[in-house]
Amino acid sequence: MLASTRNALTVASRAQVAVLSRCSRIAGFATKADQVEDIEYKRPAYFDNGATTVMDPRVLDAMLPYFSNMYGNPHSRSHAYGWEADDACEHARSQVASLIGANPKEIIFTSGATESNNLALKGVTNYAKTKTGKKHVITTQIEHKCVLASARALAEQNDNVDVTYLPVNHDGLIDLKELADAIRPGETVLVSVMAVNNEIGVEQPLKQIGEICRKHGVYFHTDCAQAAGKIPLDVNDMNIDLMSISGHKVYGPKGVGALYVRRRHPRVRMRPIIDGGGQERGLRSGTLATPNVVGFGAACEICQKEMDRDKEHVSRLANKLLDGIREHLPKVILNGSETERYFGNVNLSFSAVEGESLLMALNKDLCVSSGSACTSASLEPSYVLRAIGVGDDLAHTSLRFGIGRFTTDEEVDNAVKKVIEQVTNLRELSPLWEMMLEAEESGEPLPKSVLYPNSSTTDKMRSFNAFFVFCIVAVLSVFGQEQSMASEVAVPAAAPANQFDQAKPILAEQKEEIAEEKKEIAEEKKEQQEEIIEEVEAALARAGWMKRVVTPTFLAGTFVTIIMFVVVWIGTCCLWDVKTPDRFATKPMNIHKE
Protein backbone atom coordinates (compact mmCIF):
# COMPACT_ATOMS: atom_id res chain seq x y z
CA MET A 1 0.00 0.00 0.00
CA LEU A 2 2.86 2.35 0.82
CA ALA A 3 4.45 1.65 -2.56
CA SER A 4 1.22 2.49 -4.38
CA THR A 5 0.91 5.69 -2.38
CA ARG A 6 4.42 6.77 -3.31
CA ASN A 7 3.65 6.10 -6.98
CA ALA A 8 0.54 8.23 -6.71
CA LEU A 9 2.49 11.07 -5.09
CA THR A 10 4.98 11.21 -8.00
CA VAL A 11 2.31 11.44 -10.70
CA ALA A 12 2.20 15.25 -10.60
CA SER A 13 5.97 15.71 -10.85
CA ARG A 14 6.28 13.20 -13.70
CA ALA A 15 3.43 14.93 -15.53
CA GLN A 16 5.23 18.26 -15.22
CA VAL A 17 8.39 16.73 -16.71
CA ALA A 18 6.38 15.29 -19.60
CA VAL A 19 4.72 18.64 -20.34
CA LEU A 20 8.07 20.42 -20.23
CA SER A 21 9.54 17.82 -22.59
CA ARG A 22 6.73 18.25 -25.12
CA CYS A 23 6.94 22.06 -24.99
CA SER A 24 10.69 21.87 -25.54
CA ARG A 25 10.29 19.68 -28.60
CA ILE A 26 7.72 22.05 -30.06
CA ALA A 27 10.12 24.93 -29.55
CA GLY A 28 12.88 22.98 -31.27
CA PHE A 29 14.98 22.08 -28.22
CA ALA A 30 14.89 18.30 -28.58
CA THR A 31 18.25 17.80 -26.90
CA LYS A 32 17.22 19.70 -23.75
CA ALA A 33 13.90 17.86 -23.66
CA ASP A 34 15.65 14.50 -23.79
CA GLN A 35 17.77 15.59 -20.84
CA VAL A 36 14.67 16.62 -18.91
CA GLU A 37 13.08 13.20 -19.47
CA ASP A 38 16.13 11.52 -17.93
CA ILE A 39 15.83 13.53 -14.70
CA GLU A 40 14.65 11.45 -11.74
CA TYR A 41 12.94 14.02 -9.52
CA LYS A 42 13.39 13.18 -5.86
CA ARG A 43 10.71 14.67 -3.65
CA PRO A 44 11.67 15.57 -0.07
CA ALA A 45 10.33 13.40 2.75
CA TYR A 46 7.03 14.72 4.09
CA PHE A 47 7.00 15.60 7.80
CA ASP A 48 4.20 18.20 7.87
CA ASN A 49 1.19 16.01 8.63
CA GLY A 50 0.04 18.60 11.15
CA ALA A 51 -0.69 20.94 8.24
CA THR A 52 -2.34 18.37 5.97
CA THR A 53 -2.19 14.62 5.44
CA VAL A 54 -1.61 12.56 2.33
CA MET A 55 -4.88 11.39 0.83
CA ASP A 56 -5.29 7.66 1.31
CA PRO A 57 -5.51 5.91 -2.13
CA ARG A 58 -8.65 4.11 -0.93
CA VAL A 59 -10.27 7.48 -0.32
CA LEU A 60 -9.47 8.59 -3.85
CA ASP A 61 -10.95 5.37 -5.24
CA ALA A 62 -14.20 6.06 -3.38
CA MET A 63 -14.37 9.62 -4.74
CA LEU A 64 -13.65 9.01 -8.43
CA PRO A 65 -17.14 7.79 -9.53
CA TYR A 66 -18.71 10.99 -8.19
CA PHE A 67 -16.48 13.12 -10.41
CA SER A 68 -17.60 11.39 -13.62
CA ASN A 69 -20.74 9.25 -13.62
CA MET A 70 -22.58 10.04 -10.38
CA TYR A 71 -22.58 13.81 -10.73
CA GLY A 72 -26.08 14.60 -9.49
CA ASN A 73 -26.98 17.30 -6.98
CA PRO A 74 -27.67 15.59 -3.63
CA HIS A 75 -30.44 18.12 -2.96
CA SER A 76 -32.32 17.25 -6.18
CA ARG A 77 -34.98 14.82 -5.00
CA SER A 78 -36.91 14.43 -8.27
CA HIS A 79 -34.66 12.06 -10.27
CA ALA A 80 -32.22 9.16 -9.97
CA TYR A 81 -29.05 11.26 -10.21
CA GLY A 82 -30.05 13.29 -7.18
CA TRP A 83 -31.15 10.21 -5.26
CA GLU A 84 -27.85 8.37 -5.68
CA ALA A 85 -25.85 11.49 -4.71
CA ASP A 86 -28.06 11.98 -1.65
CA ASP A 87 -27.63 8.33 -0.64
CA ALA A 88 -23.84 8.71 -0.93
CA CYS A 89 -23.83 11.82 1.27
CA GLU A 90 -26.03 10.20 3.91
CA HIS A 91 -23.79 7.15 3.98
CA ALA A 92 -20.79 9.44 4.48
CA ARG A 93 -22.69 11.20 7.27
CA SER A 94 -23.12 7.91 9.10
CA GLN A 95 -19.41 7.11 8.62
CA VAL A 96 -18.38 10.42 10.20
CA ALA A 97 -20.87 9.98 13.05
CA SER A 98 -19.60 6.48 13.79
CA LEU A 99 -16.03 7.78 14.24
CA ILE A 100 -17.07 9.99 17.19
CA GLY A 101 -19.99 7.98 18.58
CA ALA A 102 -22.69 10.39 17.37
CA ASN A 103 -26.05 10.12 15.62
CA PRO A 104 -25.85 10.78 11.84
CA LYS A 105 -28.53 13.46 12.20
CA GLU A 106 -26.13 15.41 14.44
CA ILE A 107 -23.48 15.81 11.71
CA ILE A 108 -23.47 19.08 9.74
CA PHE A 109 -21.16 19.11 6.71
CA THR A 110 -19.09 22.27 6.20
CA SER A 111 -16.12 23.37 4.11
CA GLY A 112 -13.63 22.55 6.88
CA ALA A 113 -12.75 23.01 10.53
CA THR A 114 -12.40 26.80 10.20
CA GLU A 115 -16.03 27.15 9.13
CA SER A 116 -17.12 24.63 11.76
CA ASN A 117 -15.40 26.61 14.52
CA ASN A 118 -16.90 29.87 13.28
CA LEU A 119 -20.37 28.32 13.16
CA ALA A 120 -20.02 26.85 16.65
CA LEU A 121 -18.85 30.03 18.40
CA LYS A 122 -20.86 32.61 16.48
CA GLY A 123 -23.95 30.47 15.95
CA VAL A 124 -24.39 29.51 19.61
CA THR A 125 -23.46 32.93 21.02
CA ASN A 126 -25.64 34.93 18.62
CA TYR A 127 -28.65 32.75 19.46
CA ALA A 128 -28.06 32.82 23.22
CA LYS A 129 -27.55 36.55 23.58
CA THR A 130 -30.95 37.28 22.02
CA LYS A 131 -32.92 34.40 23.57
CA THR A 132 -31.35 33.94 27.01
CA GLY A 133 -29.19 37.03 27.45
CA LYS A 134 -26.02 34.98 28.01
CA LYS A 135 -23.00 36.79 26.55
CA HIS A 136 -19.95 35.15 28.11
CA VAL A 137 -17.61 32.76 26.25
CA ILE A 138 -14.56 30.93 27.64
CA THR A 139 -11.66 29.68 25.54
CA THR A 140 -7.88 29.27 25.92
CA GLN A 141 -4.83 31.24 24.86
CA ILE A 142 -3.51 28.45 22.62
CA GLU A 143 -6.55 27.82 20.43
CA HIS A 144 -6.32 27.78 16.65
CA LYS A 145 -6.37 31.19 14.99
CA CYS A 146 -9.91 30.71 13.67
CA VAL A 147 -11.26 30.20 17.21
CA LEU A 148 -9.38 33.19 18.59
CA ALA A 149 -10.48 35.34 15.64
CA SER A 150 -14.11 34.28 16.08
CA ALA A 151 -13.97 35.10 19.79
CA ARG A 152 -12.42 38.47 19.04
CA ALA A 153 -15.12 39.19 16.45
CA LEU A 154 -17.80 38.42 19.03
CA ALA A 155 -16.12 40.68 21.60
CA GLU A 156 -15.94 43.54 19.09
CA GLN A 157 -19.67 43.45 18.41
CA ASN A 158 -21.96 46.05 19.95
CA ASP A 159 -23.71 43.52 22.20
CA ASN A 160 -21.00 43.46 24.88
CA VAL A 161 -20.00 39.80 24.45
CA ASP A 162 -17.33 39.03 27.04
CA VAL A 163 -14.56 36.51 26.31
CA THR A 164 -12.29 34.90 28.91
CA TYR A 165 -8.98 33.46 27.69
CA LEU A 166 -7.71 30.78 30.06
CA PRO A 167 -3.91 30.53 30.47
CA VAL A 168 -2.00 27.26 30.26
CA ASN A 169 0.91 25.90 32.26
CA HIS A 170 4.41 25.10 30.99
CA ASP A 171 3.12 21.77 29.62
CA GLY A 172 0.37 23.52 27.67
CA LEU A 173 -2.50 22.20 29.83
CA ILE A 174 -5.30 24.27 31.31
CA ASP A 175 -6.10 24.31 35.03
CA LEU A 176 -9.49 22.66 35.56
CA LYS A 177 -10.09 24.67 38.73
CA GLU A 178 -9.48 27.90 36.84
CA LEU A 179 -12.00 26.76 34.24
CA ALA A 180 -14.64 26.05 36.88
CA ASP A 181 -13.99 29.39 38.58
CA ALA A 182 -14.23 31.26 35.25
CA ILE A 183 -17.78 30.03 34.56
CA ARG A 184 -20.35 32.68 35.48
CA PRO A 185 -23.78 31.29 36.41
CA GLY A 186 -26.47 32.79 34.19
CA GLU A 187 -23.90 34.46 31.91
CA THR A 188 -21.57 31.84 30.40
CA VAL A 189 -23.00 30.19 27.30
CA LEU A 190 -20.05 28.31 25.79
CA VAL A 191 -16.64 26.82 26.63
CA SER A 192 -14.34 26.12 23.67
CA VAL A 193 -11.18 24.06 24.29
CA MET A 194 -9.29 22.27 21.52
CA ALA A 195 -8.62 18.54 21.91
CA VAL A 196 -5.06 18.46 20.50
CA ASN A 197 -3.03 21.59 19.90
CA ASN A 198 -1.98 22.03 16.30
CA GLU A 199 1.50 23.35 17.13
CA ILE A 200 2.75 21.39 20.14
CA GLY A 201 0.40 18.38 20.12
CA VAL A 202 -0.73 18.73 23.75
CA GLU A 203 -3.91 16.76 24.50
CA GLN A 204 -6.41 18.43 26.85
CA PRO A 205 -8.51 16.39 29.34
CA LEU A 206 -11.77 16.53 27.37
CA LYS A 207 -13.77 14.23 29.65
CA GLN A 208 -13.06 16.29 32.79
CA ILE A 209 -13.80 19.53 30.92
CA GLY A 210 -17.08 18.07 29.68
CA GLU A 211 -18.08 17.09 33.21
CA ILE A 212 -17.44 20.63 34.49
CA CYS A 213 -19.46 22.18 31.66
CA ARG A 214 -22.36 19.75 32.11
CA LYS A 215 -22.41 20.44 35.85
CA HIS A 216 -22.73 24.19 35.24
CA GLY A 217 -25.17 23.90 32.33
CA VAL A 218 -22.75 25.33 29.75
CA TYR A 219 -22.26 24.12 26.18
CA PHE A 220 -18.88 22.49 25.53
CA HIS A 221 -17.27 22.89 22.08
CA THR A 222 -13.98 21.30 21.09
CA ASP A 223 -11.86 21.72 17.98
CA CYS A 224 -10.89 18.15 17.05
CA ALA A 225 -9.23 18.86 13.70
CA GLN A 226 -5.94 17.41 15.03
CA ALA A 227 -7.56 14.68 17.14
CA ALA A 228 -10.31 13.05 15.07
CA GLY A 229 -9.24 9.73 13.60
CA LYS A 230 -6.05 9.70 15.71
CA ILE A 231 -7.28 9.31 19.29
CA PRO A 232 -10.53 7.69 20.52
CA LEU A 233 -13.41 10.16 20.76
CA ASP A 234 -16.94 9.64 22.09
CA VAL A 235 -19.17 12.70 22.30
CA ASN A 236 -21.54 11.11 24.82
CA ASP A 237 -18.89 9.72 27.16
CA MET A 238 -16.99 13.04 27.07
CA ASN A 239 -20.13 15.24 27.37
CA ILE A 240 -19.22 17.15 24.20
CA ASP A 241 -21.97 19.32 22.72
CA LEU A 242 -20.18 20.63 19.61
CA MET A 243 -17.16 19.20 17.78
CA SER A 244 -15.28 20.47 14.71
CA ILE A 245 -13.61 18.03 12.30
CA SER A 246 -11.53 18.54 9.14
CA GLY A 247 -11.37 16.20 6.14
CA HIS A 248 -7.79 16.76 5.08
CA LYS A 249 -6.45 16.01 8.58
CA VAL A 250 -7.78 12.41 8.46
CA TYR A 251 -6.15 11.44 5.12
CA GLY A 252 -9.16 12.72 3.21
CA PRO A 253 -9.80 15.55 0.73
CA LYS A 254 -9.45 19.26 1.37
CA GLY A 255 -12.46 21.57 1.31
CA VAL A 256 -14.76 19.49 3.50
CA GLY A 257 -15.33 19.19 7.23
CA ALA A 258 -18.09 18.68 9.76
CA LEU A 259 -19.60 20.13 12.90
CA TYR A 260 -21.21 17.80 15.41
CA VAL A 261 -24.22 19.50 17.05
CA ARG A 262 -25.94 17.68 19.93
CA ARG A 263 -29.71 17.24 19.45
CA ARG A 264 -30.73 15.79 22.82
CA HIS A 265 -29.81 16.25 26.50
CA PRO A 266 -29.15 19.10 26.02
CA ARG A 267 -30.30 20.29 22.61
CA VAL A 268 -27.89 22.88 21.22
CA ARG A 269 -29.62 25.94 19.81
CA MET A 270 -27.76 28.08 17.29
CA ARG A 271 -28.15 30.43 14.34
CA PRO A 272 -26.61 29.92 10.89
CA ILE A 273 -23.85 32.23 9.70
CA ILE A 274 -24.56 31.58 5.99
CA ASP A 275 -27.95 32.40 4.48
CA GLY A 276 -29.30 30.43 1.55
CA GLY A 277 -31.38 27.38 0.73
CA GLY A 278 -31.45 26.01 4.26
CA GLN A 279 -29.51 22.81 3.66
CA GLU A 280 -27.98 20.82 6.55
CA ARG A 281 -30.94 21.28 8.92
CA GLY A 282 -30.97 24.98 8.11
CA LEU A 283 -27.56 25.52 9.71
CA ARG A 284 -25.31 25.50 6.64
CA SER A 285 -26.78 26.54 3.31
CA GLY A 286 -25.11 25.54 0.06
CA THR A 287 -24.84 22.54 -2.25
CA LEU A 288 -22.73 19.74 -0.83
CA ALA A 289 -19.62 18.76 -2.79
CA THR A 290 -20.56 15.10 -3.16
CA PRO A 291 -17.08 13.76 -4.09
CA ASN A 292 -15.50 15.52 -1.10
CA VAL A 293 -18.21 14.37 1.28
CA VAL A 294 -17.87 10.78 0.06
CA GLY A 295 -14.09 10.95 0.46
CA PHE A 296 -14.45 12.43 3.95
CA GLY A 297 -16.73 9.59 4.99
CA ALA A 298 -14.41 6.94 3.57
CA ALA A 299 -11.43 8.52 5.36
CA CYS A 300 -13.28 8.48 8.69
CA GLU A 301 -14.21 4.82 8.26
CA ILE A 302 -10.59 3.86 7.48
CA CYS A 303 -9.34 5.84 10.50
CA GLN A 304 -11.80 4.08 12.78
CA LYS A 305 -10.75 0.63 11.55
CA GLU A 306 -6.99 1.29 11.57
CA MET A 307 -6.66 3.60 14.59
CA ASP A 308 -4.76 1.07 16.70
CA ARG A 309 -2.40 0.23 13.84
CA ASP A 310 -1.79 3.93 13.11
CA LYS A 311 -1.15 4.65 16.78
CA GLU A 312 1.49 1.92 17.06
CA HIS A 313 3.16 2.92 13.78
CA VAL A 314 3.21 6.67 14.38
CA SER A 315 4.22 6.50 18.06
CA ARG A 316 7.12 4.16 17.24
CA LEU A 317 8.43 6.47 14.51
CA ALA A 318 7.96 9.56 16.68
CA ASN A 319 10.00 8.02 19.50
CA LYS A 320 12.63 6.96 16.98
CA LEU A 321 12.89 10.51 15.65
CA LEU A 322 13.00 12.12 19.08
CA ASP A 323 15.48 9.66 20.59
CA GLY A 324 17.74 9.81 17.54
CA ILE A 325 17.97 13.60 17.64
CA ARG A 326 18.39 13.83 21.42
CA GLU A 327 21.08 11.16 21.43
CA HIS A 328 23.39 13.16 19.16
CA LEU A 329 22.39 16.78 19.82
CA PRO A 330 22.51 18.44 23.25
CA LYS A 331 20.08 21.11 24.40
CA VAL A 332 17.10 20.00 22.33
CA ILE A 333 13.78 20.88 23.98
CA LEU A 334 10.48 19.09 23.40
CA ASN A 335 7.84 21.80 23.65
CA GLY A 336 4.72 20.86 25.56
CA SER A 337 3.92 17.94 27.81
CA GLU A 338 6.07 14.80 27.55
CA THR A 339 3.11 12.51 28.33
CA GLU A 340 -0.21 14.29 27.66
CA ARG A 341 0.29 14.67 23.93
CA TYR A 342 -0.59 13.28 20.52
CA PHE A 343 2.40 11.16 19.56
CA GLY A 344 2.53 12.26 15.90
CA ASN A 345 3.28 15.92 16.68
CA VAL A 346 6.91 16.54 17.69
CA ASN A 347 7.71 20.22 18.28
CA LEU A 348 11.40 20.76 19.05
CA SER A 349 13.49 23.82 19.88
CA PHE A 350 17.21 23.76 19.12
CA SER A 351 19.16 26.14 21.36
CA ALA A 352 21.41 28.66 19.56
CA VAL A 353 19.92 27.82 16.14
CA GLU A 354 17.61 30.12 14.18
CA GLY A 355 14.54 28.12 13.21
CA GLU A 356 14.11 29.76 9.81
CA SER A 357 17.74 29.06 8.90
CA LEU A 358 17.35 25.42 9.90
CA LEU A 359 14.09 25.24 7.97
CA MET A 360 15.76 26.48 4.79
CA ALA A 361 18.74 24.16 5.28
CA LEU A 362 16.42 21.15 5.57
CA ASN A 363 14.09 22.24 2.78
CA LYS A 364 15.75 20.13 0.10
CA ASP A 365 15.43 16.88 2.05
CA LEU A 366 12.59 17.35 4.55
CA CYS A 367 9.20 19.06 4.54
CA VAL A 368 8.81 20.47 8.05
CA SER A 369 7.30 23.68 9.41
CA SER A 370 8.06 26.25 12.06
CA GLY A 371 4.52 26.15 13.46
CA SER A 372 0.92 26.34 12.27
CA ALA A 373 0.49 26.42 8.50
CA CYS A 374 -1.96 29.28 8.89
CA THR A 375 0.72 31.47 10.47
CA SER A 376 3.98 30.06 9.15
CA ALA A 377 4.56 33.11 6.94
CA SER A 378 4.62 35.38 10.00
CA LEU A 379 7.98 36.48 11.42
CA GLU A 380 6.52 36.78 14.93
CA PRO A 381 7.32 33.96 17.36
CA SER A 382 4.54 31.45 17.96
CA TYR A 383 1.85 32.71 20.32
CA VAL A 384 1.39 29.11 21.50
CA LEU A 385 5.03 28.83 22.58
CA ARG A 386 4.78 32.23 24.23
CA ALA A 387 1.72 31.07 26.14
CA ILE A 388 3.59 28.10 27.64
CA GLY A 389 6.40 30.39 28.76
CA VAL A 390 8.99 29.92 26.03
CA GLY A 391 11.09 33.05 25.41
CA ASP A 392 11.03 34.73 22.01
CA ASP A 393 14.58 33.69 21.11
CA LEU A 394 13.96 30.05 21.96
CA ALA A 395 10.58 30.13 20.22
CA HIS A 396 12.33 31.24 17.03
CA THR A 397 14.38 28.02 17.10
CA SER A 398 11.41 25.63 17.03
CA LEU A 399 10.44 23.19 14.28
CA ARG A 400 7.34 20.99 14.08
CA PHE A 401 7.65 17.42 12.77
CA GLY A 402 4.35 15.80 11.80
CA ILE A 403 4.47 12.00 11.45
CA GLY A 404 1.63 10.17 9.76
CA ARG A 405 0.29 6.89 8.43
CA PHE A 406 2.55 6.83 5.37
CA THR A 407 5.80 7.94 7.04
CA THR A 408 8.48 5.23 6.74
CA ASP A 409 11.43 4.12 8.85
CA GLU A 410 13.84 5.14 6.09
CA GLU A 411 12.42 8.66 6.06
CA VAL A 412 12.80 8.97 9.83
CA ASP A 413 16.39 7.69 9.70
CA ASN A 414 17.21 10.21 6.98
CA ALA A 415 15.46 12.99 8.92
CA VAL A 416 17.54 12.28 12.03
CA LYS A 417 20.71 12.31 9.96
CA LYS A 418 19.89 15.58 8.17
CA VAL A 419 18.75 17.39 11.33
CA ILE A 420 21.92 16.42 13.20
CA GLU A 421 24.06 17.51 10.25
CA GLN A 422 22.39 20.90 9.70
CA VAL A 423 22.03 21.80 13.39
CA THR A 424 25.71 21.01 13.93
CA ASN A 425 26.69 23.19 10.97
CA LEU A 426 24.55 26.12 12.14
CA ARG A 427 25.75 25.88 15.73
CA GLU A 428 29.37 26.06 14.55
CA LEU A 429 28.49 29.47 13.08
CA SER A 430 26.60 30.65 16.19
CA PRO A 431 28.39 32.94 18.70
CA LEU A 432 25.73 32.08 21.30
CA TRP A 433 26.53 28.37 21.01
CA GLU A 434 30.23 29.19 21.50
CA MET A 435 29.38 31.15 24.64
CA MET A 436 27.29 28.27 25.99
CA LEU A 437 30.11 25.76 25.46
CA GLU A 438 32.67 28.06 27.08
CA ALA A 439 30.37 28.60 30.05
CA GLU A 440 29.96 24.85 30.56
CA GLU A 441 33.72 24.28 30.38
CA SER A 442 34.42 27.02 32.92
CA GLY A 443 31.66 25.86 35.23
CA GLU A 444 30.08 29.32 35.24
CA PRO A 445 26.68 29.15 33.55
CA LEU A 446 25.59 31.94 31.27
CA PRO A 447 23.09 34.46 32.62
CA LYS A 448 19.71 32.84 32.23
CA SER A 449 18.54 35.95 30.41
CA VAL A 450 20.79 34.88 27.53
CA LEU A 451 19.32 31.38 27.37
CA TYR A 452 15.74 32.35 28.24
CA PRO A 453 15.11 36.07 27.68
CA ASN A 454 11.81 36.90 29.33
CA SER A 455 9.12 39.26 28.15
CA SER A 456 10.35 42.11 30.36
CA THR A 457 13.80 41.97 28.80
CA THR A 458 12.31 41.74 25.33
CA ASP A 459 10.05 44.73 25.90
CA LYS A 460 12.92 46.88 27.20
CA MET A 461 15.13 45.85 24.31
CA ARG A 462 12.38 46.74 21.87
CA SER A 463 11.97 50.16 23.52
CA PHE A 464 15.67 50.92 23.15
CA ASN A 465 15.65 49.66 19.58
CA ALA A 466 12.64 51.82 18.74
CA PHE A 467 14.36 54.89 20.24
CA PHE A 468 17.51 54.12 18.27
CA VAL A 469 15.56 53.77 15.02
CA PHE A 470 13.78 57.07 15.72
CA CYS A 471 17.15 58.83 16.11
CA ILE A 472 18.48 57.34 12.89
CA VAL A 473 15.36 58.41 10.97
CA ALA A 474 15.64 61.95 12.35
CA VAL A 475 19.27 62.29 11.24
CA LEU A 476 18.55 60.78 7.84
CA SER A 477 15.72 63.25 7.31
CA VAL A 478 18.20 66.13 7.71
CA PHE A 479 20.56 64.36 5.37
CA GLY A 480 17.73 63.91 2.86
CA GLN A 481 16.94 67.63 2.88
CA GLU A 482 20.59 68.49 2.14
CA GLN A 483 20.69 65.93 -0.64
CA SER A 484 17.46 67.30 -2.09
CA MET A 485 18.92 70.84 -2.12
CA ALA A 486 22.05 69.55 -3.85
CA SER A 487 20.02 67.80 -6.52
CA GLU A 488 17.99 70.94 -7.13
CA VAL A 489 21.11 73.14 -7.53
CA ALA A 490 23.15 70.71 -9.57
CA VAL A 491 21.11 71.14 -12.74
CA PRO A 492 23.16 70.25 -15.79
CA ALA A 493 23.75 72.96 -18.33
CA ALA A 494 22.20 72.68 -21.76
CA ALA A 495 24.33 70.84 -24.23
CA PRO A 496 25.89 72.98 -26.94
CA ALA A 497 24.49 72.80 -30.42
CA ASN A 498 25.96 70.07 -32.55
CA GLN A 499 28.04 71.47 -35.39
CA PHE A 500 27.39 68.44 -37.51
CA ASP A 501 23.62 68.97 -37.56
CA GLN A 502 24.14 71.95 -39.92
CA ALA A 503 26.62 70.20 -42.12
CA LYS A 504 25.73 69.99 -45.78
CA PRO A 505 27.27 68.11 -48.62
CA ILE A 506 30.25 69.99 -50.13
CA LEU A 507 29.35 68.91 -53.57
CA ALA A 508 25.81 68.33 -54.72
CA GLU A 509 27.01 65.95 -57.35
CA GLN A 510 28.85 63.76 -54.83
CA LYS A 511 28.00 60.15 -55.16
CA GLU A 512 25.44 58.60 -52.88
CA GLU A 513 27.96 56.12 -51.39
CA ILE A 514 30.27 58.97 -50.25
CA ALA A 515 27.33 60.86 -48.72
CA GLU A 516 26.24 57.83 -46.74
CA GLU A 517 29.79 57.24 -45.55
CA LYS A 518 30.09 60.83 -44.32
CA LYS A 519 26.75 60.54 -42.62
CA GLU A 520 27.88 57.47 -40.70
CA ILE A 521 31.12 59.21 -39.66
CA ALA A 522 29.12 62.25 -38.53
CA GLU A 523 26.79 60.10 -36.40
CA GLU A 524 29.72 58.37 -34.74
CA LYS A 525 31.33 61.69 -33.86
CA LYS A 526 28.03 62.99 -32.56
CA GLU A 527 27.64 60.00 -30.22
CA GLN A 528 31.20 60.43 -28.95
CA GLN A 529 30.62 64.13 -28.31
CA GLU A 530 27.39 63.45 -26.42
CA GLU A 531 29.13 60.87 -24.25
CA ILE A 532 31.89 63.36 -23.39
CA ILE A 533 29.30 66.03 -22.53
CA GLU A 534 27.37 63.59 -20.28
CA GLU A 535 30.54 62.60 -18.44
CA VAL A 536 31.47 66.24 -17.85
CA GLU A 537 27.95 67.06 -16.62
CA ALA A 538 27.98 64.04 -14.29
CA ALA A 539 31.34 65.08 -12.87
CA LEU A 540 30.08 68.62 -12.30
CA ALA A 541 26.92 67.29 -10.64
CA ARG A 542 28.94 65.06 -8.31
CA ALA A 543 31.21 67.91 -7.38
CA GLY A 544 28.22 70.17 -6.69
CA TRP A 545 26.49 67.44 -4.65
CA MET A 546 29.52 66.90 -2.44
CA LYS A 547 29.95 70.62 -1.99
CA ARG A 548 26.31 71.04 -0.95
CA VAL A 549 25.92 67.89 1.18
CA VAL A 550 29.12 67.90 3.25
CA THR A 551 28.01 70.84 5.35
CA PRO A 552 28.42 71.61 9.06
CA THR A 553 24.81 70.46 9.59
CA PHE A 554 25.55 67.07 8.03
CA LEU A 555 28.72 66.61 10.08
CA ALA A 556 26.89 67.56 13.29
CA GLY A 557 24.09 65.07 12.55
CA THR A 558 26.62 62.30 11.96
CA PHE A 559 28.34 63.06 15.27
CA VAL A 560 25.00 63.03 17.15
CA THR A 561 24.13 59.65 15.58
CA ILE A 562 27.40 58.11 16.78
CA ILE A 563 26.84 59.43 20.33
CA MET A 564 23.27 58.02 20.39
CA PHE A 565 24.48 54.63 19.17
CA VAL A 566 27.01 54.46 22.02
CA VAL A 567 24.33 55.40 24.59
CA VAL A 568 21.90 52.76 23.28
CA TRP A 569 24.62 50.12 23.28
CA ILE A 570 25.55 50.85 26.91
CA GLY A 571 21.89 50.80 27.96
CA THR A 572 21.28 47.50 26.19
CA CYS A 573 24.24 45.85 27.86
CA CYS A 574 23.05 47.04 31.28
CA LEU A 575 19.54 45.67 30.76
CA TRP A 576 20.59 42.35 29.25
CA ASP A 577 21.53 40.55 32.50
CA VAL A 578 18.15 40.56 34.25
CA LYS A 579 16.32 38.14 36.48
CA THR A 580 14.32 35.36 34.86
CA PRO A 581 11.06 33.62 35.79
CA ASP A 582 11.15 31.23 38.73
CA ARG A 583 10.41 28.22 36.54
CA PHE A 584 13.80 28.60 34.91
CA ALA A 585 15.58 29.38 38.18
CA THR A 586 14.69 25.93 39.53
CA LYS A 587 15.96 23.99 36.52
CA PRO A 588 18.24 26.34 34.57
CA MET A 589 19.99 23.78 32.40
CA ASN A 590 17.58 20.85 32.41
CA ILE A 591 16.65 21.35 28.79
CA HIS A 592 17.63 18.08 27.22
CA LYS A 593 17.20 14.44 27.89
CA GLU A 594 19.76 13.02 30.22
**Angle, in degrees to the nearest 10, between helices 455-489 and 512-549:** 130
Residues 260 and 326 occupy one common structural domain: no
Residues 216 and 256 occupy one common structural domain: yes
Q: What CATH code is carried by the domain that includes residue 390?
A: 3.90.1150.10
Q: pLDDT tens for residues 243-281? A: 999 999 999 999 999 999 999 999 999 999 999 999 999
Q: What CATH code is carried by the domain that includes residue 171?
A: 3.40.640.10
Strand partners, 138: 164, 191
* Domain-embedded: residue 563: yes
Residues 167 and 235 occupy one common structural domain: yes
Residues 446 and 462 occupy one common structural domain: no
Count of positions (residues) in the chain: 594
Q: In one letter, which amino acid is 526?
A: K
Domains: count for the chain? 4
What one-character DSSP code corresponds to residue 345? E
- Tell me the CB-side half-sphere exposure of residue 592, using CA atoms within 13 A: 13
Strand partners, 334: 348
Residues 449 and 507 occupy one common structural domain: no
Residues 313 and 245 occupy one common structural domain: no
Structural domain harbouring 487: 457-576
What does the pLDDT read at residue 42? 79
Q: Are 89 and 289 in contact (CB under 8 A)?
A: no
Task: Tell me the C-alpha distance between 225 and 265, whole Å.
Answer: 24
* Domain-embedded: residue 77: no
Task: Tell me the C-alpha distance between 242 and 256, whole Å.
Answer: 17
* Domain-embedded: residue 163: yes
Residues 211 and 333 occupy one common structural domain: no
What does the pLDDT read at residue 530? 76
* Domain-embedded: residue 483: yes
Residues 524 and 493 occupy one common structural domain: yes
- DSSP run (H or E) holding 194: none
**Which of these, 324, 336, 329, 412, lies nearest to 368 by C-alpha position?**
412
What does the pLDDT read at residue 541? 64
What does the pLDDT read at residue 497? 40
Residues 426 and 448 occupy one common structural domain: yes
* Domain-embedded: residue 374: yes
Q: Where are the alpha helices (DSSP H) in 388-510?
A: 392-395, 409-428, 431-442, 448-451, 455-489
23 is catalytic: no
* Domain-embedded: residue 345: yes
Residues 281 and 428 occupy one common structural domain: no
Could you tell me whether strands 345-350 and 188-192 are parallel, antiparallel, or unpaired per DSSP bridges?
Answer: unpaired
Ramachandran bin of 156, using left for φ above 0, alpha for ψ from -120 to 50, beta for the remaining angles:
alpha
Residues 461 and 439 occupy one common structural domain: no
What does the pLDDT read at residue 36? 40
* Domain-embedded: residue 86: no
What does the pLDDT read at residue 446? 61
Residues 408 and 472 occupy one common structural domain: no
**Which of these, 242, 249, 236, lies nearest to 269 by C-alpha position?**
242
> Which residue in 89, 146, 213, 374 is the catalytic one?
374
* Domain-embedded: residue 276: yes
Q: Where are the alpha helices (DSSP H) in 183-281?
A: 206-215
Q: Which residues of the chain have pLDDT under 50?
A: 1-39, 373-377, 449, 452-470, 472-507, 578-594
